[in-house]
Structure 1
Amino acid sequence: MPTSVSVIIAAKDSADTIVRAIASALNQAEVVQVIVVDDGSKDTTAQTARDADDGTGRVEVISLGKNHGPAYARNRALEVCRGQLAAILDADDFLLPGRFTRLLPHAEWDMIADNIAFVPTGYDAPLEIKGTDDAHPLSLENFVLGNLTRDDMHRGELGFLKPVIRLAFLKTHKLSYNEDLRLGEDYDLYARMLAAGGRFKTTRTLGYGAVVRPNSLSGQHRTEDLRRLADADHDLLALPLSAPERHAIHLHETQTRNRYRHRHYLDLKRDKGTVATIKALLGDPDSWLPVVSGVLRDKLSAPHAAPASRDVRYLFPLPEA
């Protein structure tokens, strides 16, 4: 059973959060290396990360001259991993004590992920790790379906999973992050691993804390990022897939491309005005329904926008104590 873990942290302007992230990784007995990739920060992220080493020399910092995005940054870290396993940690998040001790003994996996606690900014109460839960297989079809936005506007969140990844599998199948993506790069890698025969398991036992920030980089994306993610789905469809897998990916591609079309015409209206937007739409009938439904959805949802919650919520229901 592989037991050595390299934790990868892609960071941009994260000097105020990087110390807790690093400390939570160094506190794990299985961690042999914490690789911080400073992705073109304007603050003291790189030096703050170096200073956060606990004296064991496990913290390594790679400084990039300009911002390239998390996919590029993580690939640079993957190139220098010394552990048998890699674990992604966002720079404003944290690992719960004993995370890898609980996860790694589960059998037969190439990726394994645990439950996530989404905590509001400033939340500092301890999170209770309740009970234990068996690890269950997650198929490519169910993973992709778990990333769809449903009719009730609830966004699928399985793309937020932060699995521990067997590096030998990535090497054998020549897989890495798609550096063209600045949105959905995790989803894309996990889907390609599954399509290559990777075994993905999940457990409801809590192990990862994700800080919910209103200005989080993960919550911001360009219109172009949506098009690139839809194109990545299109590329996935070229792989040997079962009919249910193909259907699920097609649904995800269609939903993502429709979001792109909606955003594209909103951008056009902002930049060129209403008349130019209507003229463009008349020549693009495939975009009529996505644009109209997107506008209606925005109008219907805006008045009901809820204030940010101060409560912790979980990706999966917690296991019984």
Structure 2
Amino acid sequence: MIQDEKVCVIIAAKNAEKTIGRAVRSALAEPEVDEVVVVDDGSDDRTMAAAAAADDTTRRLDIIRFRANRGPSAARNHAIAVSRAPLIAILDADDFFFPGRFRRMLACPDWDFIADNIAFMQEADTAPQPEDFPPHPRRLDLRDFILGNISRRGAPRGELGFLKPVMRRAFLDAHDLRYREDMRLGEDYELYVRALLAGARYTVIESCGYGAVVRAGSLSGQHRTKDLAALHEAERAILAAGNVPSEAAEAMRRHCRQVGQRHALRHFLDRKREGGAAAALAFATANPTALPAIAGGILRDKLDAARERMRPAEPAPQEGLRYLLPAGR
């Protein structure tokens, strides 16, 4: 393995005592990994001890603790700052790598970012191996990336912002790219957008090397209203800069509108929960432009709940895996 192929795996962790060990072991098992940097982001459980117990004594594991929670962006930026390897890979603390992930990715030439397929699964102690999809590398441009993050109601969650690319440190440094630390939702999406605007060659392969565990009550349902507001403002700032190519600008405006609608609905529901129906009505009256998003969101939620009650139980998917990219189809 040549020096330029060495990888630093960054894991930001908060109260991940039950899962951090598997994440660390899966990273250390990859021969291309030269460093694993775990940042314990203000945990109040035994996350640090569980990460340390997964060490393989090769001196590649570095564990850092934040006394107070600062968020995944700050944790990742700190890990980037203290690490050295020329390639950077992000791993969430409750996820893991399948064996051979980096070998397949690094076999592809000419990229600044490269991402592979993700297998989503329900929480379990053991996970089946993913299908052996051929790589079929393709270049991802800004317009297609943004369109791949626009949610479709009734479709499984599968936004391209979930991708976990390997990133070249040299490209990040050359364009002063780091995660925005005021964001706790969509920080990956926002970074990738700025990288693509800076000319990043973003390659995607269909081979699956990343296992993502889907847990009840996780994902965006736990994000705060102000997290949606921060994502909305960040995207509006990118559009306002005026350097988004015309073919991508309309897609970004669509995505921005969708985020704004989600924020308006969440804000309305916050007012109702905190102050009752009168407070919610006052908010809606004072923000007439938000009324379509509020009314439409409430109606869709009620329809979805009704459909869920009427829907017969579905059999579990084969092997419990669902793939982000439609490989082989």
Normalised TM-score (structure 2): 0.93
Alpha-carbon distance in 2 for matches of 1:284, 1:245: 29
Alpha-carbon distance in 2 for matches of 1:153, 1:18: 30
- Of 14, 17, 22, which residue of structure 2 is paired with 1:15? 17
- Of 207, 210, 213, which residue of structure 1 is paired with 2:209? 207
Checking the alignment, whether the CA contact within 8 Å between 1:130 and 1:318 is kept in structure 2 is no
- 1:95 matched to which residue of 2? 97
Runs (4+) of structure 1 exceeding 3 A deviation are: 151-156, 305-310
- 2:83 matched to which residue of 1? 81
Instruction: Compute the displacement of 1:70 (Å).
Output: 0.7
- 1:164 matched to which residue of 2? 166
The Cα offsets for residues 62-113 of structure 1, whole Å up to 9 and x where unpaired, read as: 1001111111110110101211100000111110111101101211111100
Secondary structure of residue in 2 paired with 1:32: strand
- Of 284, 288, 307, which residue of structure 2 is paired with 1:285? 288
Checking the alignment, whether the CA contact within 8 Å between 1:148 and 1:155 is kept in structure 2 is no
Q: Percent identity?
A: 47
Alpha-carbon distance in 2 for matches of 1:223, 1:162: 25
Any gaps of 5 or more consecutive residues in structure 1?
A: none
Alpha-carbon distance in 2 for matches of 1:65, 1:17: 20
Secondary structure of residue in 1 paired with 2:306: helix
Instruction: Compute the displacement of 1:316 (Å).
Output: 1.5
Alpha-carbon distance in 2 for matches of 1:244, 1:151: 24
* RMSD (CA atoms): 1.8
In the alignment, structure 1 residue 268 sits paired with structure 2 residue 268:
no
Instruction: Compute the displacement of 1:279 (Å).
Output: 2.4
Alpha-carbon distance in 2 for matches of 1:217, 1:152: 16
After superposition, where does 1:32-181 map in structure 2 within 5 Å?
32-122=34-124, 124-152=126-154, 154-181=156-183
Instruction: Compute the displacement of 1:220 (Å).
Output: 1.7
- Of 290, 313, 321, which residue of structure 1 is paired with 2:322? 313
Checking the alignment, whether the CA contact within 8 Å between 1:119 and 1:313 is kept in structure 2 is yes
After superposition, where does 1:189-228 map in structure 2 within 5 Å?
189-216=191-218, 219-228=221-230
Secondary structure of residue in 2 paired with 1:6: strand
The AA in structure 2 aligned to 1:38 is D
Checking the alignment, whether the CA contact within 8 Å between 2:158 and 2:324 is kept in structure 1 is no
Alpha-carbon distance in 2 for matches of 1:161, 1:125: 19
Any gaps of 5 or more consecutive residues in structure 2?
A: none
Alpha-carbon distance in 1 for matches of 2:99, 2:8: 16
The AA in structure 2 aligned to 1:145 is L
Alpha-carbon distance in 1 for matches of 2:242, 2:25: 40
Instruction: Compute the displacement of 1:155 (Å).
Output: 4.1
Checking the alignment, whether the CA contact within 8 Å between 1:150 and 1:156 is kept in structure 2 is no
Alpha-carbon distance in 1 for matches of 2:226, 2:113: 29
Count of aligned pairs between the two proteins: 320
- 1:256 matched to which residue of 2? 259
Instruction: Compute the displacement of 1:318 (Å).
Output: 3.2
Normalised TM-score (structure 1): 0.95
Alpha-carbon distance in 1 for matches of 2:257, 2:162: 20
Higher deviation after alignment, 199-208 or 236-245: 236-245
Alpha-carbon distance in 1 for matches of 2:188, 2:194: 10
User: Aligned in 2, Cα 1:92/1:155: closer, same or farther, shift over 3 Å?
Assistant: closer
